[in-house]
A = this chain, B = another copy of it.
């Protein structure tokens, strides 16, 4: 699989000068990464963006090609694929959009590949991703990253300290979902493989590779079916001990299964079996992409909570009530403060509020008395230094009065490496929240949530 993510040479079929075409986007995406050892096969053009065009792959002087990308109209795909196989290209991605929902072509493809295989015998050594792949993404430490998506990316997210890799049967992951991280980067993404209809390369092939990939610390899967149940089971059992696996399995219902048959032609399998498998192996199941990325940012950007002991500091009394309800609902234990903690907190609270100092802590009167910086830092430290909570949550509302020096949270993470810190917002000025989140998520790796229910549900997934 390495040649898909780290190719030394790339050949493109279907590159285009027309900026509206996928074949243009793929080429420009690649050229943003490298111009070395990039070749174009084109029937008419001499060059595109300064890259020389050849008429056939056999015209190349290069003896070996690591990666071929085919973005051609459906009628040309199979012949081109045969040429690539015969040339001995190590890895091939079928990004031809129009191939992906054509029953007949899938069957043709299978038949033709069998023909080609038997023709070239033992020399056949290519791996094929797709059809209906929209490409791969492979981040580099210098932020240059290789992306072969059909959608153009003028900017790529950077690797973070710890990163998620995604294996997906939808192109969404290599279009909108990756673009989510262009602005506020909640998450580091190491690699994405859009495996499409999985004619050859399937989730298990990529999983084997990601297991030992140093840049990958957690793995997200969007799967409509599982190709080889036993292999998947065995490898997940092994991998989850090192890297968390998050699974979004669609086709859970009869309606969903029907839609899958149309989308990627696979059989969704019995959902109950998959559900049981996840429980047994410790795979984290999620309901949608938003939840996958929320779970991932908690797992990757903060310590993974070892237990269910929780501390809460809320700007609002309603926040203490709602989070008490949710703690009980999701089986989180609000740790009782001891007398020393309460005694110390007296210093920042006005006297009339003393009898209300407990966990969850309503911080408003302390913010009024000593200002937000002191109130949040002091109370956070009181909670953390006992080393008896696994999660500390700050609830704020997006108004300037409650803003504090966010760097405190980074200091806490350094000083108390066993406690995860998350932040929840009860509404607030949207522009202000964006500004806050840019610092909190991007620079300080503090997961933030704009829905208190989503925050608690996410925590329940990682416990």
The residues of A with any CB-CB pair to B shorter than 8 Å are 74, 97-98, 101-103, 105, 151, 169-172, 175-180, 182-184, 222, 224, 250-256, 258-260, 262-264, 287-291, 316-322, 324-325, 327-329, 334, 350, 352-353, 355-356, 358, 360, 362, 364-365, 368, 396-399, 401, 425-431, 450-454
Inter-chain CA distance A365–B259, complex, in Å, is 16
Inter-chain CA distance A324–B259, complex, in Å, is 7
- Given known contacts A180-B427, A291-B453, is B397 in contact with A222 (CB within 8 Å)? no
Q: List 16 A-B contacts (CB under 8 A).
A: A101-B362, A151-B399, A169-B318, A170-B318, A172-B318, A172-B426, A177-B428, A182-B429, A250-B322, A254-B328, A255-B324, A256-B322, A259-B321, A262-B358, A263-B318, A288-B451
Contact B176 A318 (CB under 8 A): no
**Beyond A222-B318, A250-B321, 10 extra complex contacts between A and B, CB < 8 Å:** A101-B362, A177-B397, A224-B321, A253-B329, A255-B327, A259-B360, A288-B451, A288-B452, A290-B452, A454-B454
SS of A interface (majority): helix
Residues of B within 8 A of A365 (CB): 97-98, 101
Inter-chain CA distance A252–B329, complex, in Å, is 9
Please, which residue of chain B has its CB at the minimum distance from the CB of A323?
Answer: B259
Please, which residue of chain B has its CB at the minimum distance from the CB of A255?
Answer: B324
Contact A430 B180 (CB under 8 A): yes
Please, which residue of chain B has its CB at the minimum distance from the CB of A319?
Answer: B172
Inter-chain CA distance A426–B177, complex, in Å, is 7
Which of these, B172, B329, B399, B425, contacts A427 with CB under 8 Å? B172
Residues of B within 8 A of A319 (CB): 172
- Minimum distance in angstroms from A208 CB to a CB of chain B: 24
- Given known contacts A321-B250, A352-B74, A397-B172, is B428 in contact with A180 (CB within 8 Å)? yes
Contact A176 B399 (CB under 8 A): yes
Contact A290 B451 (CB under 8 A): yes
Residues of B within 8 A of A360 (CB): 259
Which of these, B97, B251, B287, contacts A321 with CB under 8 Å? B251
